[in-house]
Amino acid sequence: MRKPSFEKVRRFVRPLDDRGNVAIVMALAMGPICIAGLGAIDLARATSAKSQLQDALDAAALGAARTPATTDGELQTAGERFLRQNLKLDDHFALTSSSFTFGDNGRVIAAAQVDVTPFISGLLSGGTMPIAATSEVVRADMKVEIALVLDNTGSMNEGSKLSDLKSAAREFIDKMEDAANKAVEPNSVRIALVPFANAVRVDSSAYQNASWIDQNGDSPINDEIFTTSSGTQHANRMDLFKKMGVSWRGCVEMRQAPYDVQDTPATSGATLYTPYFAVDEPDSKTSGYGQDYQNDYLSDGTNSNDWRVRQGSITKYKKVSGIGGSGKGPNKDCSMQTLMRLTTNFSSLRSAINSLSAGGNTNIPIGMAWGWNTISPYAPFEDGVAYGTPKYKKIVVLMTDGENTISQRDTPNDGSYAATGYIWQGRVLKADLTPLQQGATDAERTAALDSRLALLCENMKAKDIEIYTVRVEVKSGDSSLLQNCATGRDYYYDVEDSSALTAVFQSIAGQIAALHLSR
């Protein structure tokens, strides 16, 4: 019998050899694949443990900060107890260390480590995977009430000033919200927003019938704009709005001096807030003046040549279509965003800031007066805590880009109606406390409003209100007014370019958080 040749045997077994090689390769490859898969599971477990540890540590730090602990030892005992209560891990995880200590400025600093027993990496390293986390909270010693008083006048439309202001104000809210979230005490930060131009606007739907609004024309200044040749006529402004079928938009006039620079409770008479009502001015060029009246929106209904008779009449107010459609009407120049009272709803504050719009002249005193109103314990809002309440601070942040202005115009009114009324009413007092008169120069008008602002700032600081002032891209005038209004040198900022506003507002927010939330 012939034996098979070697070549025939090799040809016969070669396919079997190839198949065996593939099986061996597959077997060898499965090991790394399994290890990689289990390693991915280890990574997922570690990530989950990190998240759970961070959440538990944050809760433990807050819990420890709320205890009456005064030493690191007491804080450690409380913190570790809260941590173990909040940390829910299985037997493959071990809490190996925790630390709860007092830092500076009332901070509580926490750290912890968990060791994870891995499925694979431990076989290679012979150990466990350490997972660490840190947390920090502030034991707030001082709560703050903040009013953001922001210039929304027409000059804010120049360049990028308005958009820069919005960005800066939003980031200020963000930083104060972060400080509030780290503080132990609830509601440690409350913020109000007061946009201003030639007036300030409140929510008309909420305050149409408010007791602090002069509902019946009881304030002495109510009837002054309804003058005739023989005196004044009494008018209920809210009734006139109704007769025209026009809604009051919520703007208010400055109160009669000295209440314009005080937070005297609004209860009766001159302390009440008079609804803004831009009267119908005489029909165009009726009296032969060089310019048309700015706010002629009704027929005067008379042949009189006396501009006071035409302007002061109250019988002409009736329902006519189109009032306000051309920008004229009883709400003329009352277009700014409504103010927001003290709130902890930071999201709503940011939304309101996004809606800011610019227009009108500059009346800083009325903006500051309403900023004061939002943090005052008195009417109209009564939102602020009582003056002198322990562990509370009241703060106003004022930003403006212009000088105080009362317009001039070549008509008998010698200017536009605004929250100051007309200049001929003598509503604004000069530094010597005599009324500003018709025919005053621009400089005299600015100086009169400046003197009211200076007195207002003095009165606010006398109530222990801290004032930050920010002057933006003002190329003329004297900065001493806002410097003196501010609480101190470090509370005043002169910003040459509005792009720097965010840095300035961040600096102010940092000062407030450091000095009052972490004292």
Q: What is the pLDDT of residue 181?
A: 85
Q: In what order do the strands lie in the sheet with 107-116?
A: 93-102, 107-116, 129-138
Through-space distance between the first and last CA atoms of the chain, rounded to whole angstroms: 108
Q: How far is CA 32 from CA 27, 37, 118, 160, in A?
A: 10, 8, 16, 59
What's this model's pTM, rounded to 2 decimal places? 0.79
Q: What is the pLDDT of residue 286?
A: 56
Q: What is the pLDDT of residue 142?
A: 84
Q: Which of the pair, 452 or 231, is modelled with greater confidence?
A: 452
SS3 of 188, please? coil
| pLDDT(458) > 70 | yes
DSSP 122-161: HHHHSS-EEEEEEEEEE----EEEEEEEEE-SGGGGSTTH
Per-residue pLDDT of 81-92, as tens digits, reads: 999 999 887 777
Nearest in space to 48 (alpha carbons), one of 156, 136, 131: 131
Query: 434 CB contacts (<8 Å, ≥6 apart)?
Result: none
- Looking at the chain, the whole-number percentage of residues with pLDDT higher than 90 is 63
What is the arithmetic mean of pLDDT over 245-259? Answer: 96
Distance separating alpha carbons of residues 419 and 229, to the nearest angstrom: 24
- Residue 218 DSSP one-character state: -
Is the four-CA dihedral 339, 278, 260, 495 of positive or negative sign?
A: positive
Is 44 exposed, middle or buried (CB count within 10 Å of its CB: 0-12, 13-18, 19+)? exposed
The helix or strand, by DSSP H or E, that contains position 200, with its residue range, turns out to be: strand 200-201
Q: What is the pLDDT of residue 291?
A: 57
- Asked if residues 89 and 52 have their Cβ atoms less than 8 Å apart, the reply is yes
Per-residue pLDDT of 88-129, as tens digits, reads: 877 777 899 999 998 876 788 999 998 887 766 554 555 678
Distance separating alpha carbons of residues 387 and 461, to the nearest angstrom: 12
pLDDT band for position 501 (cuts 50, 70, 90) = very high
- Looking at the chain, the whole-number percentage of residues with pLDDT higher than 70 is 87
pLDDT band for position 5 (cuts 50, 70, 90) = low
Distance separating alpha carbons of residues 465 and 180, to the nearest angstrom: 20
- Residue 165 DSSP one-character state: H
The torsion of the CA quartet 378, 384, 390, 393, rounded to 10 degrees, works out to: -120
Per-residue pLDDT of 123-171, as tens digits, reads: 455 567 888 999 988 776 789 999 999 999 999 999 999 999 999 999 9
Ordered structural domains, the chain, with CATH = 46-139 (3.10.450), 143-517 (3.40.50.410)
